[in-house]
Amino acid sequence: MITIRPCLPTEWNTLQKLNDEVFQDNLKYDPDLVADYALSEKGKNYFKLVLKDKNSCCFIAEEAGKPVGYIVGSPKKYSYRKSKYFELDNMGVSPQNRSHGIGSKLIKTLIQWASEHKYKKIIVNTYFKNSPAIAFYKRNGFGEIDVTLERKIVK
């Protein structure tokens, strides 16, 4: 059985391991990523800050007491938009546990939290070529809003 619970303030190590699985997956879409970022000091400090921040939220999915997924969200300020936005900063489900509805349960929990905190919209970024994640977000009610482009600077 899957349980979704708030992340404990000292669980950065669990989050780093789950986040590392996301990084390894995302390397397919972004060769510029620092491959060991999640397990590095910087990766640890990122989660330590998230866990201290009262305006952010973090949930862990467990199966038989084992962490198998996580989701992190924080406020997103747009001075030029009308609505109060919350951002789904990152999420992941362990490869062997995907396609069992865990990611969707994590999203529902995040939306419930954001709704209780008076947010009106949720935004998420993912890689343009990460079609499984895009299909997943669309099935969970998200629609496209913008596209990020990059290019190399050559002399």
Ligand X SMILES: CC(C)(COP(=O)(O)OP(=O)(O)OC[C@H]1O[C@@H](n2cnc3c(N)ncnc32)[C@H](O)[C@@H]1OP(=O)(O)O)[C@@H](O)C(=O)NCCC(=O)NCCS
Quote the least distance from Cβ 30 to ligand X, whole Å: 10
92 binds ligand X (CB under 6 A): yes
Instruction: Single out the residue of 86, 90, 119, 122 in contact with ligand X (rule: CB under 6 A).
Output: 90
Q: What character string, x for contact with ligand X (CB under 6 A) and - otherwise, covers 9-38?
A: -------------x--x-------------
Stretch that binds ligand X, among 2-10, 77-85, 92-100, 114-122 (CB under 6 A): 92-100
Residue whose CB is nearest to ligand X in the complex, by number:
103
98 binds ligand X (CB under 6 A): yes
Stretch that binds ligand X, among 30-38, 44-52, 112-120, 128-136 (CB under 6 A): 128-136
Tokens of 28: 């397919």
Measured between alpha carbons, how far is 149 from 107 in angstroms, rounded to an integer? 26
Tokens of 142: 């998200």
The number of residues in the chain equals: 155
Name the packing angle between helices 131-139 and 102-116 (round to 10°): 50
Stretch that binds ligand X, among 31-39, 47-55, 88-96, 110-118 (CB under 6 A): 88-96
Residue 55 CB partners (closer than 8 Å, separation 6+):
74, 75
Residues contacting ligand X: total by CB under 6 A: 20
At position 21, the amino acid (one-letter code) is E
Measured between alpha carbons, how far is 22 from 142 in angstroms, rounded to an integer? 20
φ, ψ dihedrals at 139, nearest 5°: -65, -20
Using the minimum distance from each CB to ligand X, give the nearer residue, 149 or 153: 149
43 binds ligand X (CB under 6 A): no
Measured between alpha carbons, how far is 12 from 132 in angstroms, rounded to an integer? 27
Binding site for ligand X (CB under 6 A): 22, 25, 90-93, 98-104, 126, 130, 132-133, 135-136, 139
